Amino acid sequence: MGVNVRGRSFLTLLDYTPEEIRYLLNLSKEFKRMKAAGTLHEYLRGKQVVLLFEKTSTRTRCAFEVAARDLGMGVTFLDPASSQMGKKESLADTAKVLGRMFDGIEYRGFKQSVVEDLAKYSGVPVWNGLTDDFHPTQMLADIMTCEEEFGDMRGRKLTFFGDARNNVANSLMVVCAKLGINFCACGPKELMPKDELVEKCREAAAYSGATITLIDDIREGAKDADVLYTDIWLSMGEPAELWEQRIHLLRPYQVNGALMAMAKPTAIFLHCLPSFHDRETTVGEDIYQKFGLEAMEVTDEVFLGKQARQFDEAENRMHTIKAVMYATLK
Ligand code: CP
Ligand code: NVA
């Protein structure tokens, strides 16, 4: 039976079957081929989407805007400063209004319950562009990048080093569990995913044949790994006062040349970005002045090295987001 996700929201990959995820990945690859060949694909001409961003973004916003335009759609961008949402108008009322004008809504913000409520009240597909809990569109780009390198990812090992209970790590655990990829969260015990989510992922893993491992030993984390993944140590929305504690906890989990050398020689490095790998940002420089760290979650040796694939991954955000919008709106 063919997969059909028309009319569905895309809030967390927990709601999607492995077959549906596979379908979206295949569609993403097809869109990438079309873009490279210069084949126009304005399949959704006449439709309109709105992008709501309560947190900042470079990749996700640009990916949605470019993908929507490539599909022939109109795009409206709203941020908290330029809309009434949450200040003069409730979320439910905002969702009902947007649902009358737009065919689909992207939301990036804080609580997962907000993106769920938008879907509930708007009556149109809602796409999660990152919440405190999940970052599902990122996952399609990540797995697509892995498959471009290795082909079938089933049975391979992906290890996330760092804050293993953030939105990206949570979502990686979900997608790996669904697709039969062995997932390892490697970080301090204080920063491990919630038991409830681990339980759900273990259930999915029982079907797919994936394993889920939570450990604090970097040698074990890197051993036999095909993909080494990391993310910033302090996510959007977390207070800057936490930097000192986070640096103390996560310094041993920095992805550097020594750690890469503990993995398979064929391993690749991924990062959702943005990244603190040097002092070329205001935060990076500030951290250097306060704590003497030249780099945080990843060093330039890895970030600029031969195994790094994070810019392919960033490009793939656009192709995968296009697939999600097309599949749910067509
Ligand atoms: N990876 C990612 O979501 O990047 P942005 O925060 O720039 O959108
Ligand atoms: N964990 C990061 C991901 C950014 C794409 C954050 O939420 O800030």
168 and 70 together in one domain: no
Say if pTM beats, i.e. exceeds, 0.85.
yes
103 and 194 together in one domain: no
- The stretch 163-184 carries a mean pLDDT of 98
What is the distance in A from the centroid of ligand 1 to the CA of 199? 28
Task: Read off φ and ψ for residue 128, nearest 5 degrees.
Answer: -80, 110
Domain range holding 57? 13-134+316-329
- The stretch 217-224 carries a mean pLDDT of 98
Distance, in Å, from the CA atom of 95 to the CA atom of 49, rounded to the nearest integer, reads 13
5 belongs to a structural domain: no
Number of domains comprising the chain: 2
Distance, in Å, from the CA atom of 126 to the CA atom of 105, rounded to the nearest integer, reads 5
192 belongs to a structural domain: yes
Q: With H, G, I as helix, E, B as strand and everything else as coil, classify residue 62.
A: helix
311 belongs to a structural domain: no
211 and 162 together in one domain: yes
- From 51, 52, 54, 57, the mutation candidate for ligand 1 (largest count of ligand atoms within 8 A of CB) is 57
List pLDDT tens digits, range 244-271. 999 999 999 999 999 999 999 999 999 9
257 and 190 together in one domain: yes
161 and 275 together in one domain: yes
Distance, in Å, from the CA atom of 186 to the CA atom of 223, rounded to the nearest integer, reads 11
Does residue 33 carry a catalytic annotation?
no
- The stretch 198-205 carries a mean pLDDT of 98
70 and 199 together in one domain: no
Q: Which two tokens stand for residue 40?
A: 């126009």
Question: Of all protein residues, whose CA lies closest to atom 4 belonging to ligand 1?
Answer: 59
Q: Which two tokens stand for residue 141?
A: 């780009």
Predicted confidence at residue 91, as pLDDT, reads 84
Q: Say which DSSP state 31 is in.
A: H
List pLDDT tens digits, range 127-172. 999 999 999 999 999 999 999 999 999 999 999 999 999 999 999 9
116 belongs to a structural domain: yes
148 belongs to a structural domain: no
123 belongs to a structural domain: yes
215 and 237 together in one domain: yes
Give the Cβ contact number of residue 330 at 10 Å. Answer: 13
248 and 320 together in one domain: no
Antiparallel, parallel or unpaired: β 48-53 and 227-230: unpaired
Distance, in Å, from the CA atom of 250 to the CA atom of 234, rounded to the nearest integer, reads 10
Distance, in Å, from the CA atom of 263 to the CA atom of 219, rounded to the nearest integer, reads 8
Antiparallel, parallel or unpaired: β 227-230 and 104-108: unpaired
Task: Specify the ligand 1 atom closest to the Cα of 56.
Answer: 6
173 and 276 together in one domain: yes
- Ligand index nearest the alpha carbon of residue 235: 2
- Check which CATH number belongs to the domain holding 104 and give it: 3.40.50.1370
The DSSP H or E segment spanning 220 is helix 218-222
Q: Active site residue: 117, 133, 231, 246, which one?
A: 231
